[in-house]
Amino acid sequence: MSELLEIKNLCIGFPHKSGEFTAVRDVSLTIRKNETVAVVGESGSGKSLTSLSVLGLLPENSAVKSGSVLYNGRDVLSFSKKDWQQYRGREVSMIFQDAMALLNPGMKVGRQIAEGLHYHKLMDRSEQRVAVLELLRLVGFADPEHAYHQYPHQLSGGMKQRVMIALAVSCKPKLIIADEPTTALDVTVQKQVLDLLSSYKEETGTSVLLITHDLGVVAEYADRVNVMYRGQIVESSDVYTLFDSPLHPYTKALMASIPAIGSTPERLKSIHDYMVESGGHNGMQFAPATYGASPADEPPSRLVEVEPGHFVRFFREGAVV
């Protein structure tokens, strides 16, 4: 199967008082047509920066130090302004965490969705209204005509996120990046919104890059998963393999942090505990229990394919933890 998106050895840095801080380190991942690929990890692990690089929306003070982001074989990092205009929204779109911050508070919901269709010149004005009403129906508004005329502040959190999905899918992109799309919502609404995105994906063949810190969401919605820790992918595989046989201590720690229903309460293990307990694999060792003060102090490591499609990051071969 050919890759729709291929991120290769991406490194993103920021200026820092002691030189430079590399927030994303040697990240590689792929997304194929009609796949949902998750990036999971704790806050600050580099998930958002990785996804923002795909849309050319990295913070101004950051710099891509090396690597490439190939969309259908073209490196987006060398896109011109015109390329970006044609690509954003039309080829790849994004659903952000905070819908309220992104929706224009002074514009009716229907108009906001119509603007995207107008921008990409997909249809004339007369057809846009019908298309927007259809989109609002698709994302679950029982009365699309009523929703069309509402302002964002008149909608609940779940409804606003549905509008964000309508906006994101309006130009029929081939890839949707969903960055913590439901974090601000309660559990029931969270499931409704993710189910909606999932059924849209199945119906249209769209691909989804799902950014989350929630392994429960990964288990339910992703086909493949990349676990990120301190700017690096430490484990990557299909979702069944990851849950059946996680290898990296950080992945195990993430899994152990999901309390099982009916389990006897015990002290939650820290990631440090797992690092200490972790053993080697095929003669290689995971990174030491105590990382250095900064990523620059850390030992060299590399991703190893331990079985087909299952990659784990190891500390250098033969090292003693």
Task: Report helix, strand or coil for 259.
Answer: coil
Q: Minimal CA–CA distance to 39: which of 52, 20, 55?
A: 52
DSSP alpha helix (H) spans, the chain: 47-54, 81-87, 99-102, 109-119, 125-138, 144-148, 157-169, 187-204, 215-221, 239-244, 249-256, 271-277
Classify burial at 95, counting beta carbons within 10 Å of its beta carbon; exposed 0-12, middle 13-18, buried 19 or more.
buried
Backbone angle region of 167, left / alpha / beta, with phi > 0 → left and psi within -120 to 50 → alpha: alpha
Binding-site member from 19, 44, 292, 309 for ligand ATP (CB under 6 A): 44
Name which position in 47, 162, 174, 224 contacts ligand ATP (CB under 6 A): 47
Does residue number 61 form part of the binding site for ligand ATP (CB under 6 A)? Answer: yes
Q: Which residue, 46 or 173, has its beta carbon nearer to ligand ATP?
A: 46
Segment holding 315, helix H or strand E = strand 310-315
**In the complex, what is the shortest distance from the CB of residue 296 to ligand ATP, in angstroms, rounded to a whole number?**
14
Site for ligand ATP in 242-301 (CB under 6 A): none
What is the rounded CA–CA span in Å between residue 199 and residue 180? 18
# binding residues, ligand ATP (CB under 6 A): 13
| Identity of the residue, 11 or 171, whose beta carbon is nearer to ligand ATP in the bound complex | 11
Q: How far is the CB of 63 from ligand ATP (least distance, A)?
A: 11
Comparing CB distances to ligand ATP, the nearer of 41 and 116 is 41
In terms of Cα–Cα distance, which of 257, 255, 306, 308 is closest to 280?
Answer: 306
Stretch that binds ligand ATP, among 43-51, 190-198, 240-248, 261-269 (CB under 6 A): 43-51
Q: Please tell me whether residue 18 binds ligand ATP under the rule CB under 6 A.
A: no
Radius of gyration in angstroms for the set of CA atoms belonging to the chain, rounded to a whole number: 21
The least distance separating ligand ATP from the CB of residue 16, rounded to whole angstroms, comes to 8
Indicate whether 59 belongs to the interface with ligand ATP (CB under 6 A): yes
Q: Is 48 in the site for ligand ATP (CB under 6 A)?
A: yes
Using CB under 6 A, list all residues that contact ligand ATP.
Answer: 14, 23, 41, 43-49, 59, 61, 213
